[in-house]
Amino acid sequence: MLARRWRYRSSAFASPLSPVRRFGVVYVPNGMNMKEWTPDATGKAFELRSVMAPFAPYKDQLVVVTNLDSKPPANVPGAGGHARASTRFLTDVPPKQSQSAELEAGPSIDQILAKKLGQETQLASLEVSIDGRDFAGSCDFGFSCAYSNSISWLNATTPLPMENDPRVVFERLFGDDGTTDPAIRRARRGEDRSVLDSVTDELGRLKGGLGAADNAKMSQYLEAIRDIERRIDVAQKQNAQEVSHVAQPAGVPASFEEHVKLLFDMQVLAYQGDMTRISTFMLGRELSGRSYPEIGVYDAHHPTSHHQYDPVKLERLAKINTLHTKLFAYYLEKLKATPDGDGSLLDHTLLIYGAGMSDSQLHSPIGLPLVLVGGASGQLKGGRHLKYPTNTPLANLHLSLLDKFGVPIDRLGDSSGRLDVDTLSEL
């Protein structure tokens, strides 16, 4: 099975006539310190404020988008601010209030795209998260935790699980056992061999048919795989030693930063090997109570986000927001450094980075913090801050992006049309 899958993916290393286009989303929970996020000027003259400062090296491929709202309909009760934030971020549909399995929202734009772009790849899409799904009791009252745990919805009733264990993600991409069952995966790891060893013969035959430049790409790719596999093994050994102190699934590093980087690196590999063209990543679930002692923030994220406009708490929130943007900048650098066709993976990928609420003190869905980054083969003209009229639905941006990927639909959630045609022509 693995050899057949590898042969299919290996075509990604032959120089393409025209590069493929990819779409990714990186979501951050619990809102944003909007004062340290939003640029003052619009157009090309804008300057990045402190939270977005890590994006400076990629400013020419970045579009800051402001004044887009994700407001629920007027007849929907006001509870569930966090569940709504994550659910509406890509679906534009408010979640049905339910604590049972009777979930309801709508298909998310990543899955609408996956139905078309995923026809040519091993995985239609890849969904990952920094948090696991074992957070019962830490969710909005009256709403299932499933709403807070995912931003990807296959259809109106099916949120997709976001995997947080790098080992499981790695084996989903490269493993030959065809399952994520823990017992089977432990048995496979017990064989004490690299995933790459099982395809050595196939790789030898493949290399013989590639030119020097494409062989260099292949070598770089394999080295990246080996490095990730080594890092996961190190994390597993650490977890085995520390299991009496911290209960963690095998493969999840103790370090938040290393965990995030591992999951970003595997998304790069998935794009590079053309195993998928669609990915979503939650840097935290809504209501996340993670603390960040490594940056001097010892209080939990969610209580910190309810800052009551206290300057000290706002400063702490900005530190958390900035740590997230620094890690996203790491991802951008990886994509930019990876050759793809006549450019880089970043040139041929369109990414959304943002949150499902703006002012976290108010759980506000108005004027969400959003940036678009990348190129997606000429689909994005960067270096701009676009400020849209008040009351413009986020869904209008989603419709416009679907158009750009050749997947037009008439309506999505509360959409009222496409974005202004003059602005859209520059996207």
Q: Under the phi-then-psi rule, with left for phi > 0, alpha for psi from -120 to 50, and beta for the rest, what region is 114? A: alpha
d(CA 333, CA 118) in angstroms, rounded, equals 25
Higher pLDDT, 376 or 181: 376
Structure tokens at 294: 């490594």
Give, in degrees to the nearest 5, the angle at Cα 321 between 139 and 296. Answer: 95
d(CA 302, CA 377) in angstroms, rounded, equals 38
d(CA 208, CA 191) in angstroms, rounded, equals 29
Predicted confidence (pLDDT) per residue in 146-155, tens digit:
999 999 999 9
Residue 249 predicted with pLDDT over 70: no
Min mean pLDDT across 176-180, 282-286, 391-395 is at 176-180
Residue 162 predicted with pLDDT over 90: yes
**pLDDT band for position 108 (cuts 50, 70, 90):** very high
d(CA 31, CA 113) in angstroms, rounded, equals 26
What number is the average pLDDT over the span 170-193? 58
**Spatial CA neighbour of 411 closest among 47, 141, 107:** 107
Predicted pLDDT at 174? 72
d(CA 134, CA 125) in angstroms, rounded, equals 23
Bridge partners for 155 per DSSP: 158
Predicted confidence (pLDDT) per residue in 300-333, tens digit:
999 999 999 999 999 999 999 999 999 999 999 9
Predicted pLDDT at 55? 98
Q: What is the 3-state secondary structure (H, E, C) of 338-370?
A: CEECCEECCCCEEEEEEECCCECCCCCCCCCCE
**pLDDT band for position 68 (cuts 50, 70, 90):** very high
CB-based contact 414:392 (threshold 8 Å): no
Residue 54 predicted with pLDDT over 90: yes
CB-based contact 82:140 (threshold 8 Å): yes
CB-based contact 97:142 (threshold 8 Å): yes
Predicted confidence (pLDDT) per residue in 70-82, tens digit:
987 766 666 788 9
Percent of the chain with pLDDT over 90: 57
Residue 206 predicted with pLDDT over 90: no
Min mean pLDDT across 11-25, 116-130, 163-177, 199-213 is at 199-213
Predicted pLDDT at 1? 37
Predicted pLDDT at 427? 55
**pLDDT band for position 180 (cuts 50, 70, 90):** very low
Which run of H or of E encompasses 65?
A: strand 62-69
**pLDDT band for position 91 (cuts 50, 70, 90):** very high
Predicted pLDDT at 158? 92
Predicted pLDDT at 142? 84
**Spatial CA neighbour of 332 closest among 143, 58, 11, 78:** 58
Neighbours of 342 (CB within 10 A): 12
Structure tokens at 203: 């790789």
DSSP string computed for 4-20: HHHHHHHGGGSPPSS--
**CA torsion angle 60 62 67 71 (round to 10):** 170
Neighbours of 320 (CB within 10 A): 25
Predicted pLDDT at 15? 53
Using CA atoms, how far residue 36 sits from 40, 52, 253, 286, in Å, is 10, 8, 30, 21
What number is the average pLDDT over the span 177-202? 52
Instruction: Look over the chain and give the mean of its residue pLDDT values, rounded to a whole number.
Output: 83
Structure tokens at 375: 């190129």
What number is the average pLDDT over the span 219-234? 68
Predicted confidence (pLDDT) per residue in 325-382, tens digit:
999 999 999 999 999 888 999 999 999 999 999 999 999 999 999 999 998 656 788 9
Predicted pLDDT at 89? 97
Starting from the edge strand earliest in sequence, which strands make up the sheet with 370-374, in order? 126-129, 278-282, 22-28, 349-355, 370-374, 62-69, 384-393
d(CA 166, CA 250) in angstroms, rounded, equals 9
